[in-house]
Structure 1
């Protein structure tokens, strides 16, 4: 599957001319995937250039003062009979220089403050922490290198994906079940390719616990948060995802799971294939067809099956958010995990305002808020990392 997203830090490093050959190739491929990618890059580049212009203007203020000081020193050598005229001229020059400096400084400082206010809440990027069974941890998301598991497996680490290289002969590997953890913080996302070829996109504030090598008659992983799975079919050996109070069993299929502890409901959404979803509480069981979803309410313990537009629940992995008559509180909760901010509601009733729209995951955050403001009766105020919501 083509990777349709790119990190904001990679774009900044492109503007600064610091990309490696591999990153340059990836950036060019991303740029050619659609006109909206080039438009977004150009907007980022203009913002970057404006920041540099502000720095120059601040330097010009200091330069103006140096010129003024030299001028004042020169007045001291003027003959006494001309001093009064020159002093008055100098005073006028001082006033002009001060006014000009104040104007330039005020404009630069004001614009800089506005930019800082906007940029404090920025899109997330590829970022994760790998915790190995022996306790070693690795920060992922920038460098490319290889790791060797004590089981004998090799791991390829890229800026966007962690890949367990295929093992042709498993008999030479340790048969002990060794679990690793991949944790993605708020404001991050990452992808992993497991030893069996299964691909998993892991969303912000999520964690996947998985065996380095699958052994036995089943393949089992454990999820906290949200992820999208493309499971590699392996005969009669099922793939099982444990998440919250549900167990999802598949043979080979594509589906999404959302099971954040802070959310009232857990969701399993089937894109293709077939999955079985079991809940220990209430002994409930569902077999899903493509386009179907199970929503489980954690308070009541009741699960319900329904037909949905799957894109609304899994489009995040392709760099988009799709909302259809979604409550504002739910929308901001989703966005807060990616943009890493807190929300304060001045009016409780605004939580139930409904919004429909398609947002791009790597867009400037203030731009997304303006889109919501234009189509609903709400206002937003950004204060550092807090978004205030009001009528």
Structure 2
């Protein structure tokens, strides 16, 4: 969207000709997002942008006055000059029928593998008892979690029994471990854990991405094996992104503290920090980012895609996992960056509309229920 397109939409709004979706789009831009410095706008262009403030009395509009001296423009205008585009949950819908395959978003689904090897396919509709292992009941609660509850008649050898919860591409799930620790799994992820924690430590293994709210117990440390590093809870809430197709394993600390070990190195994170460690074996050590974008790291858990200067490949990897689609590239990969957010509960067609605004070209093909998106030059 360039400045002329934006001005036309403003004129439509002030003339009372905007659709409800267009109104929501304009209002959301002003009420929910900050602004960035951009190349100079003319006085007339700036006046056009500012005019919307008087037309939106029902919303709490962020004033543009502090940015006038730097000739700021709304983040949405960045597309025409800087290769950025704002994704938003109220994005203006386009004609979905132009896409041959309108892929729905992911949902709550997973496979629970019990200690005896039995596999149980879990969906969003199941509620009640799933299994019992060594005196530990496994239930699916009404709010969508797999819950482990130990009884007084618990078998002493139950700690030797391991379960695995795995989500496919296009799935997510959550569970509560026997110690009360809460875990959320993103798409294409897994967690292996003992049915009960009877030893001197609580140890689990994950692949993919998971968010933890650990019940702290200093006498029984909680440790997570993620790729080539070990994360130890020191009383905390944190997110672990450990996909094998991502270049870095990232641990983002929300509250408390964690100790992380890898490549003969130990670090301790403070709230708001993020550690980055190469996903593949290397001699490189940890990199710590202060004032990390915590909201971006846990956006998936809150039902959002959120990006800040993300490459097209980064975006497509997330879309591939959530929409269960394959992604290929033909020719040179477009050198564009994405900033902003969009809800994860929209169909794939709405996301593709946003990509097309940024002049990203693609084609879709479906074979035996497998959908492939090929990005072209």
The TM-score with structure 2 as length reference comes to 0.68
State the 4+ residue runs in structure 1 displaced beyond 6 angstroms.
Answer: none
How far did residue 389 of structure 1 move? 1.8
| d(CA) in 1 for partners of 2:98, 2:176 | 38
Alignment of 1:321-332 (within 5 A): 321-332=305-316
The question of 1:287 aligning with 2:271 is answered no
Alignment of 1:138-177 (within 5 A): 138-141=120-123, 142-158=125-141, 160-165=144-149, 167=150, 169=152, 172-176=154-158, 177=160
C-alpha contact (below 8 Å) 1:355/1:372 kept by paired residues: no
Question: Match of 1:213?
Answer: 196
| d(CA) in 2 for partners of 1:114, 1:371 | 15
How far did residue 190 of structure 1 move? 0.4
How far did residue 348 of structure 1 move? 2.0
The question of 1:224 aligning with 2:210 is answered no
The TM-score with structure 1 as length reference comes to 0.66
Does the residue aligned with 1:312 lie in a helix, a strand or coil? helix
C-alpha contact (below 8 Å) 1:152/1:174 kept by paired residues: no
C-alpha contact (below 8 Å) 1:129/1:138 kept by paired residues: yes
The one of the two structures with greater contact order (alpha-carbon pairs below 8 A, sep at least 6) is: 2
C-alpha contact (below 8 Å) 1:264/1:299 kept by paired residues: no
Unmatched 5+ residue regions in structure 1? 1-35, 40-112
| d(CA) in 2 for partners of 1:367, 1:198 | 36
The question of 1:250 aligning with 2:233 is answered yes
| d(CA) in 2 for partners of 1:309, 1:136 | 40
How many pairs does the alignment contain?
A: 275
How far did residue 115 of structure 1 move? 7.5
CA-based RMSD of the aligned residues comes to 2.3
How far did residue 310 of structure 1 move? 1.1
How far did residue 217 of structure 1 move? 1.8
| d(CA) in 1 for partners of 2:110, 2:207 | 14
Instruction: Give the number of the structure whose residues are more often helix, by fraction.
Output: 1
The question of 1:387 aligning with 2:373 is answered yes
C-alpha contact (below 8 Å) 1:201/1:227 kept by paired residues: yes
| d(CA) in 1 for partners of 2:297, 2:147 | 25
The question of 1:123 aligning with 2:105 is answered yes
Unmatched 5+ residue regions in structure 2? 1-20, 25-95
| d(CA) in 2 for partners of 1:150, 1:259 | 29
C-alpha contact (below 8 Å) 2:234/2:259 kept by paired residues: no
| d(CA) in 1 for partners of 2:220, 2:242 | 25
How far did residue 122 of structure 1 move? 1.7
The question of 1:237 aligning with 2:216 is answered no
Of residues 333, 353, 370, the one that matches 1:349 is: 333
Residues 304-349 of structure 1: CA distance to partner in whole angstroms, max 9, x if unpaired? 1112111111110110011000010011011100101111223323
How far did residue 286 of structure 1 move? 1.1
Question: Match of 2:348?
Answer: 365
Does the residue aligned with 2:300 lie in a helix, a strand or coil? helix
Question: Match of 1:33?
Answer: none
How far did residue 237 of structure 1 move? 1.8
Question: Match of 2:300?
Answer: 316
Residues 348-373 of structure 1: CA distance to partner in whole angstroms, max 9, x if unpaired? 231x4211110111112111121233
C-alpha contact (below 8 Å) 1:231/1:253 kept by paired residues: yes
| d(CA) in 2 for partners of 1:321, 1:114 | 23
Change (3 A) 1:299 1:234: closer
How far did residue 155 of structure 1 move? 1.1
C-alpha contact (below 8 Å) 2:311/2:338 kept by paired residues: yes
C-alpha contact (below 8 Å) 1:236/1:251 kept by paired residues: no
Does the residue aligned with 1:149 lie in a helix, a strand or coil? strand
| d(CA) in 2 for partners of 1:238, 1:293 | 21
The question of 1:300 aligning with 2:286 is answered no
